[in-house]
Amino acid sequence: MLDLTRLATKLTTTRVFPSIQKVFLYSVLVLVGLYAGMLLNHSIYPVETQLSPLDYAKYWKIVDSTSMHTHMAIMEPGTGVLLIVTILLFIPNWRSPTFIFLVLAFVAFAIDVSFTLREQMPINIFMNKLDLSNITVEQTKQLAKFQAEAIASFDTRFIHGSISFLLLCLAPFFLDKTE
């Protein structure tokens, strides 16, 4: 029978294990940095605030179909899985600041994903169902409301993403104390 405790102890005491931890830590740092950068882009270039509701719907249909579907379907789950694997790799160092920063960064990321599913997804569904060539007055009013909500949503998500990224940026500074 395989003794998992002995195997885990042997693995974590090798010289290779800290290198594996670092590769995962820096990989997740890059992915969360890209994610936070995407959210920063919305804050720096608030194109959505300059558009009429109809123009906003046209813009959003392009953005959502070309990049957001990929982001939400691939990048967010991939980043979440990589964060979890990285946290698992640092469990032997559970008392270290690096582990604590990883867990807190994951919490901030999970809050953002939850917020996105709860707040942004209904807007996306509404926008994708719109027939822009036959839009009604009522749909235009709803569109204007959702435009304001989506802009506010990205501002909130920028805060979540930034917190997650900043926490991850702190983690490598404590690696020497982790090993």
In a domain, 142, yes or no: yes
109 within some domain:
yes
Q: What is the pLDDT of residue 112?
A: 94
Residue 2 domain-assigned? no
What pLDDT sits at residue 179? 47
Q: Is the pLDDT of residue 8 over 90?
A: no
Average pLDDT over residues 89-112: 95
Mean pLDDT of the residues in the chain: 88
Query: What number is the average pLDDT over the span 3-11?
Result: 65
Q: What is the pLDDT of residue 12?
A: 64
Q: How far apart are CA 168 and CA 170, in angstroms?
A: 5
Q: Which of 88, 71, 75, 73 is nearest to 25 (CA)?
A: 88
- 130 within some domain: yes
- Tally the domains of the chain: 1
Domain that holds residue 39: 17-178
pLDDT, mean of residues 54-74: 83
Indicate whether 88 pLDDT > 80.
Answer: yes
Task: Tell me the whole-structure pTM to 2 decimals.
Answer: 0.85
Q: How far is CA 34 from CA 51, 75, 113, 158, 164, in A?
A: 26, 10, 15, 12, 12
Q: Quick check: 102 pLDDT over 90?
A: yes
The CA angle 174-177-179, to the nearest 5 degrees, is 110
Q: Provide the residue type at 66 as one letter.
A: T
Residue 177: is its pLDDT beyond 70? no
**What is the Cα–Cα distance from 88 to 81, expressed in whole angstroms?**
11
